[in-house]
């Protein structure tokens, strides 16, 4: 039995085919038609519209948090490459940034992106390149301290070449990880999107040296035909000082 995000069974025989089909309009490429058709028939896209999220990606972080519980009331969260804002929307609710959960600690959600982002109630948004010098100090100043969670759903611009795209997103994810090392407090969590392809093994090795638990998972909301996965690294060991040896080094 297969259930959609709305909980409806879609596996029964004899059911009517309710799939929306899109004809290729004059001047529109077939690839664009297929993309539009997939969007119209994607239950997560439909659910996002109904529930007010800015994209289906919101359900990826919801499902990851349901499993690993890092977006807790009172947490200070940094969302790197936050546009269009779906992950921030989820974080605002879960960390109680608006103070709507009586008796619970009030958290902070800070989103940064290269482009300007439309305002999100409960989130503080900044146009910033997290790779620029001093970006970590700016983020800690805006937060008023270190972060409990650093998360990233960033992806480098596609080149159309699978291996190149894989290396680009792994490089971006490694940069986000090193940024997290600078802003996370001890015990913190790092969550980021990666693409399966082999080069992520080095990233996982780096994370395992800096966190007590590291998982490499594919949430249900991630499309089955996508090579994307997410790393969830928990229990940050704390920022290392220059010259400090790793635990596995003599």
Beta strands in the chain (DSSP E): 76-80, 108-113, 123-127, 147-152, 184-195, 211-217, 228-236
In the prediction, which pLDDT does 229 show? 92
In the prediction, which pLDDT does 236 show? 98
Tell me, letter by letter, the H, E, C secondary structure of 2-38: CECCCCCECCCCCCCCCCCCCCCCCCCCHHHHHHHHH
The helix/strand/coil state of 118 is coil
Backbone angles phi, psi at 65, to 5 degrees: -70, -35
Residue 246 marked ligand-binding: no
Residue 129 marked ligand-binding: yes
Average pLDDT over residues 19-45: 56
Higher pLDDT, 130 or 156: 130
Looking up tokens 């159309």 gives 160
Residue 11 in this model has a pLDDT that exceeds 60:
no
The set of catalytic residues is 193
Sheet with 123-127, side-by-side order of all strands: 123-127, 108-113, 76-80, 147-152, 184-195, 228-236, 211-217
Over residues 166-176, the pLDDT tens digits come to 788 889 999 99
**What tokens were used for 225?**
């035909």
pLDDT band for 223, please (50, 70, 90 cuts).
Answer: confident
Residue 134 marked ligand-binding: no
Pairing of the two strands 211-217 and 184-195: unpaired
Over residues 87-125, the pLDDT tens digits come to 999 999 999 999 999 999 999 999 999 999 999 999 999
Domains of the chain: 55-236 (3.40.50.150)
> Count of residues for the chain?
250
125, 126, 127, 133 alpha-carbon torsion, rounded to 10° = -140
pLDDT band for 148, please (50, 70, 90 cuts).
Answer: very high
- Give the Cα separation of 185 and 77 in Å (integer): 11
Backbone angles phi, psi at 236, to 5 degrees: -55, 130
**What tokens were used for 216?**
């490499």
Residue 187 in this model has a pLDDT that exceeds 60:
yes
Average pLDDT over residues 166-191: 94
Q: What is the DSSP letter of 106?
A: P
Report how far apart, in Å, the C-alpha atoms of 7 and of each of 10, 44, 170 are.
9, 12, 34
The helix/strand/coil state of 41 is helix
For the ranges 8-22, 156-170, 198-212, the maximum mean pLDDT occurs at: 198-212
- Give the Cα separation of 236 and 211 in Å (integer): 4
Residue 37 in this model has a pLDDT that exceeds 60:
no
- Give the Cα separation of 219 and 217 in Å (integer): 6
Residue 113 marked ligand-binding: yes
What pTM was computed for the model? Answer: 0.80
């Amino acid at each position: 039995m297969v259930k959609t995000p709305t909980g409806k069974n879609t596996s029964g025989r004899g059911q009517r085919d309710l799939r929306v089909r899109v004809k290729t309009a004059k001047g529109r490429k077939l690839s664009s038609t297929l993309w539009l058709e997939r969007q119209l028939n994607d239950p997560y896209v439909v659910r996002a519209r109904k529930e007010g999220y800015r994209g289906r990606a919101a359900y990826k972080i919801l499902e990851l948090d349901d499993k690993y519980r890092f977006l807790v009331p009172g947490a200070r969260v940094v969302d790197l490459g936050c546009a269009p804002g779906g992950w921030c929307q989820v974080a605002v609710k879960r960390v109680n940034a608006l103070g709507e959960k009586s008796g619970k600690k009030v958290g902070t959600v800070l989103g940064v992106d290269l482009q300007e982002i439309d305002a999100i109630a409960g989130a503080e948004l900044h146009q910033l390149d997290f790779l620029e010098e001093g970006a970590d100090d700016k983020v800690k100043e805006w937060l008023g301290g270190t972060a409990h969670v650093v998360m990233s759903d960033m992806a480098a611009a596609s080149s159309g070449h699978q291996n190149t795209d894989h290396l680009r997103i792994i490089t971006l994810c490694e940069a986000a990880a090193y940024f997290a090392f600078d802003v996370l407090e001890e015990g913190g969590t790092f969550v980021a999107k990666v693409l399966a392809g082999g080069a992520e093994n080095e990233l996982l090795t780096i994370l395992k040296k800096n966190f007590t638990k590291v998982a490499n998972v594919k949430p249900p909301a991630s499309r089955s035909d996508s090579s994307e996965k997410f790393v969830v690294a928990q229990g940050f060991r704390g920022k290392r000082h220059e010259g400090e040896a790793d635990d596995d080094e003599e």
